[in-house]
Amino acid sequence: MVTEILKKALSEALSSMGVEPPVDIHLERPARREHGDWSSSVALATAKNAGKNPRELGTALVEYLDANRPEYVLGVAVAGPGFVNFTLDDSWLHHVLAEVASAGVDKFARLDTGGGQAINVEFISANPNKPLHAGHARGACYGDSVARLLDRVGYEVTREFYLNDRGVQMNLFAESLAARKRGEEPPEGGYQGAYITEWAAEMPDDADPLEWGYARALASHKETLSRVGIEFDVWFSERSMVASGVIDETLAELAEKEVSFVDDGATWLRSTDYGDDKDRVLVKSDGELTYLAPDIAYHRDKFSRFPKLINIFGADHHGYVVRMKAAMQALGHDPEDLEIRITQLVDLERGGETVRMSGRAGDFVSFDDIIDEVGPDVTRLMYLMQSVDTRQTIDLDAVSNQAADNPVFYVQYANARIHSAIRNAAEKGHPRKPLADVDLSVLVHERELELLRAISTLPETVEHAANERSPHTIAGWSRDLAAAFHGFYHDCYVVGDDVSAELTQARLWLLEATLIALAVCFDLLGVSAPESM
RNA sequence: GCCUCCGUAGCUCAGUUGGAUAGAGCAGGGAACUUCUAAUUCCAAGGUCGCAGGUUCAAUUCCUGCCGGAGGCGCCA
């Protein structure tokens, strides 16, 4: 990689003048083209320790590098307060193209920063007593895409869904189903949604409402998730922990480590010792478990299976973060190994009017409703376009009615256009030749180079997105790539009277590299890559 | 009161370990199709990066305080 060449050259230049090079020399792509292809602020960063003026150090670096030109470097200049700017021969981009084309979708922008470490990503974990609703959708799309990113950078990823399949909520659910089955109203505090009535009608007369309802809800979850390409590796049952006794084991361990205590007839977790603002009840004075006890047992179990856990929660569960980390620390785990990501809430609007997520009758906008309305690809993309740190407002009319203005279509349209151009070239007698037989150096149009520059940034973008758990970075990048492609497509014909056969071949490979980059993005985002639209 | 997130163009949002003249989309203004999909492209316009301090050669970015918005703080889950 050219960045390695430049870093090495900078390091040598610093050493030659007696300055200790930093461990990681920072290279960046200047925002402005006149600042060259690559830039380093290393002179600014090291000047102080070297006891030199940044600009003078930068000038000295440039003199050395000018006399000892690294590969690809056409020119090197000092600018501003001491930036060292490199201008490269276009051939570096031709080499990028060759590398991308030979790597293909599987290998391009696939990294090994994870080193094969096992990692567990738990997300959604909605109660198995109702269909998934709109509130689950953001966490679902985000969690799955984070898992895809981690997989791409070399982690062994397990997607896990925790099922709260016992307790008060499940009993109320069963009673509500049974009541509807008898043609009665659900009990006090029961579930009022229309889906209860629908499911009750499906339920056989001799079915156990709890077991049947549980299975029905689970099937509903799986069906909805499969529509947007989400599959879980593990569905972990809370009940299974009661059966296996690990909840009691966990409580015993907490007691043994003296991080729990009994007061007022209840058992408490001494979470204030670990930064919580109050201690939390594990076992109520009536002997019933709080939600916390099984949850701690569950995370204890996950740690027995994985060295690293990621949980994705909605904003309404953020209070849970401190106490769960406290519990894990109390059990002897490094709280850093339990990473909890919070997704902020989503407001749905229709024509500027807020859509109520759940009404008095217990009805709500379901995840399925959204997929029905805008389709799976738009659903995923609209949730992934934006950082989960910000509250999101989605106008369903805007994303469905004005589909033409939707970024999803903009990016997918690029994919379709590429396939169209390839088909056209083949029909006009220009099947693509093997890469080795094609001269890529004929790609000199600014649009071509711009597209190649864009493609070249995908590996670092994937690495960043994975590290930051930020799929929206990929969504934004794919938009930029599509823009670079559309610009190229507009100005550069692949086949035409003014286009030589050699140039057609080189451009066909440029299309191939663009397809590869798009395919990587589509995979990470979980959307489809249409060959025509 | 405490905790989390947010505050950047008219609107929705990016902004990569702090970097050069802060970027996109949409809306609004002006252009471009005899050839591969105009679901496109190009040009112009649009900014007190909430406010005030601090650290730094350099702050939208880091720190502190304040203002504003959202959410959470139960022997509910």
Within residues 151-180 of protein chain A, the ones with CB less than 7 A from nucleic strand B are 164, 167-169
- Domain boundaries A405-525, corresponding CATH code: 1.10.730.10
CA of A481 to C1' of B67 (A): 40
- ipTM associated with this complex: 0.94
CA of A393 to C1' of B27 (A): 18
Q: How far from A244 is each of A250, A253, A280, CA to CA, in Å?
A: 11, 15, 24
**Distance (Å, whole) CA A125 – CA A221:** 10
Within residues 21-50 of protein chain A, the ones with CB less than 7 A from nucleic strand B are 24, 26, 28-32, 34-35, 39, 41, 44-45, 48
DSSP secondary structure code for residue A70 in this structure = P
Closest residue to B16 (CA, C1′)? A464
Proximity of residue A442 CB to strand B below 7 A: no
Within residues 290-329 of protein chain A, the ones with CB less than 7 A from nucleic strand B are 290-291, 315-320, 322
Superfamily of the domain at A2-89: Arginyl tRNA synthetase N-terminal domain (3.30.1360.70)
What is the DSSP code string of A476-495?
Answer: HHHHHHHHHHHHHHHH--SS
Which nucleotides on strand B sit less than 7 A from a protein beta carbon?
2-7, 12-17, 19-27, 35-42, 57-58, 69-77
What is the DSSP code string of A129-160?
Answer: TS--BHHHHHHHHHHHHHHHHHHHTT-EEEEE
Superfamily of the domain at A123-241+344-395: HUPs (3.40.50.620)
Structure tokens at A494: 């692949």
The closest alpha carbon to A34, from A4, A2, A73, A77, belongs to A77
**Distance (Å, whole) CA A272 – CA A291:** 18
533 residues of chain A, pLDDT tens digit each? 788 899 999 999 999 888 888 877 888 888 888 888 999 999 988 887 777 788 888 999 999 999 999 999 999 999 888 899 999 999 999 999 999 999 999 999 999 999 999 999 999 999 999 999 888 999 999 999 999 999 999 999 999 999 999 988 899 999 999 999 999 999 988 898 899 999 999 999 999 999 999 999 999 999 999 999 999 999 999 999 999 999 999 999 999 999 999 998 999 999 998 888 889 999 999 999 999 999 999 999 999 999 999 999 999 888 889 899 999 999 999 988 999 999 999 888 876 677 766 555 566 789 999 999 889 999 999 999 999 999 988 887 777 765 556 788 899 999 999 999 999 999 999 999 999 999 999 999 999 999 999 999 999 999 999 999 999 999 999 999 999 999 999 999 999 988 999 999 999 999 999 999 999 999 999 999 999 98
Structure tokens at A66: 């000018």
The closest alpha carbon to A116, from A66, A63, A157, A67, belongs to A157
Q: Which residues contact A352 (CB under 8 A, 6 or more apart)?
A: A395
The closest alpha carbon to A117, from A159, A161, A158, belongs to A158
**Distance (Å, whole) CA A293 – CA A277:** 18
User: Nearest nucleotide by C1' from A314 CA?
Assistant: B71
Domain extents in chain A: 2-89, 123-241+344-395, 405-525
